[in-house]
Amino acid sequence: MSDEPGSDELGVYEIAYLCGGPTRVAQTALLALHGHRRIRILHGAHRVEAAEREPGDDVLQAVVLAEIPHGGRPLNQLVAAVAASPPMDGLAGTLQEAGLLSRPLLGSPRPTRRGRALRRRLRAEPGGELARFAALGTPGIAEARLREMFEAPEPRPERPPRGWAGRGRGDANPAPDRAGGGGLRFGGRPD
């Protein structure tokens, strides 16, 4: 029997880090909160809003909730902020101590030979719903609409329509036509 840790010894966040890095861990924490109905992921706007702000025992979920302002936050920005948070270093350290991640001098840690072998096993037999996402990424999300949210790029903001009077400019005070009549003067009085 080997002393190599198995999937039973790893939590979903360790599985997510090993199979997809800090971004996958952040997405896994988001899905866990979504599954407990503590956050809402708005489909059309690609935004995340907190439904319940009281953090539980989970440190990463507390980080997610702390990163969501009252007006919500775009999904991709939230994932990036949580992926760069301090708890990710502790998670990487745990996997490094287990011999599953390297300890590079520069750059981010990568799976060792043992880590790659375990990652292959985890992907072949992913387990429960959250562990399935942690191992497989977006293909592991059963709900099609939610899977779309994580796969689709964040929508670009729409440009205002042509002739839009932004900040009080534009057609608010039309100039007189070339014939000299029909418009408003600077004082706002009709001709």
List, for residues 72-116, the tens digit of each pLDDT value.
999 999 999 999 999 999 999 999 999 999 988 888 889 999 999
Residue 74 CA to residue 60 CA, distance in Å, equals: 18
**Rounded (5°) CA angle 24-131-142:** 90
- Band (pLDDT 50/70/90 cuts) for residue 22 is very high
- Band (pLDDT 50/70/90 cuts) for residue 181 is low
Q: Tell whether 169 is covered by a domain.
A: no
| Domain assignment of residue 28, given as a range | 12-151
pLDDT at 173: 53
Q: Quickly count: other Cβ atoms within 10 Å of residue 148's Cβ.
A: 12
Residue 163 CA to residue 170 CA, distance in Å, equals: 7
Q: Tell whether 87 is covered by a domain.
A: yes
Give the chain's domain count.
Answer: 1
Q: For tokens 């503590």, name the residue.
A: 38
Is residue 140 predicted with pLDDT exceeding 70?
Answer: yes
Q: Tell whether 95 is covered by a domain.
A: yes
Helix boundaries (H) for the chain = 12-35, 59-67, 75-83, 87-97, 113-124, 129-136, 144-151
Q: Tell whether 143 is covered by a domain.
A: yes
CA 83 to chain centroid, in Å, comes to 9
Q: Tell whether 158 is covered by a domain.
A: no
Helix/strand/coil for 168: helix
Residue 98 CA to residue 82 CA, distance in Å, equals: 23
Q: Are 78 and 48 in contact (CB under 8 A)?
A: yes
Give the residue from 61, 79, 13, 146 showing the smallest Cα distance to 52. 61
Q: Tell whether 1 is covered by a domain.
A: no
**Rounded (5°) CA angle 107-110-112:** 140
Q: Tell whether 167 is covered by a domain.
A: no
DSSP, res 160: P
Q: Are 136 and 119 in contact (CB under 8 A)?
A: no
Is residue 1 predicted with pLDDT exceeding 50?
Answer: no
